[in-house]
Amino acid sequence: MRTIITSALLATLALPTFAETKTYKTDAGHTEVRFGWDHAGVTIQHGEFDKSVGILSIDPADLSSATLDVSIEAASVSTGFEPLDTHVKSGDFLVADEHPSIRFVSTSVKQTGDTTADVTGEVTLRGVTVPATLQVELIHQGEHPVAQFIDYYKGDWMGFHATAEIDTAPFGFALPVGVLSFEISTEMKAE
């Protein structure tokens, strides 16, 4: 009898563990996609994309299986100066009328610390796809602190801060910009 119980216990332990993969979506009101570039060695200029959507599928027990897909509306660029916004959207840079979306799709995730990871993938801009890596920090996971006051915030949330640098040379911009630095802050809610 003892052998049967031991065998049953070992068989149970050998069964694969099915962790729960969750899907999170960015909250538009709490997502910022900022970018900056060297303006001919004179200044560092900054802008922001006002419209973006990110979808994260993640199994907390297996971070390496996570996937991230982010789409940014190219025409939503905002630098705080309308003539510059128009120029950035033009054929000299984003060609926003022909390529309305800037997209990042992950290909791998590597945990680098207790709350940090490198999310490697491909970014497509102006129809050109290049490799890119986001350095990501997990800021919050679980119930949203504001949920006790506002029902919208009930549920499971994650908060992230991410940075990346992307060489613009492959995109064929009309003027040399060098490296674009990105800084992303987002709150994502489980669907």
Residues in the chain: 191
What does DSSP assign to residue 42?
Answer: T
pTM for the predicted model, two decimal places: 0.87
Among candidate residues 51, 68, 77, 48, the one with its CA nearest the CA of residue 123: 68
The dihedral of CA 32, 24, 97, 124: what is its sign?
A: positive
The dihedral of CA 111, 112, 114, 120: what is its sign?
A: negative
pLDDT in tens, the chain (191 residues): 333 333 333 333 344 445 689 999 999 999 999 999 988 888 889 999 999 999 999 998 899 999 999 999 999 999 999 999 999 999 999 999 999 999 999 999 999 999 999 999 999 999 999 999 999 999 999 999 999 999 999 999 999 999 999 999 999 999 888 999 999 999 999 99
Q: Where are the beta strands (DSSP E) in 40-127?
A: 43-49, 52-58, 67-73, 77-78, 101-111, 116-125
Q: How is residue 123 written in tokens?
A: 């970014």
Neighbours of 125 (CB within 10 A): 24
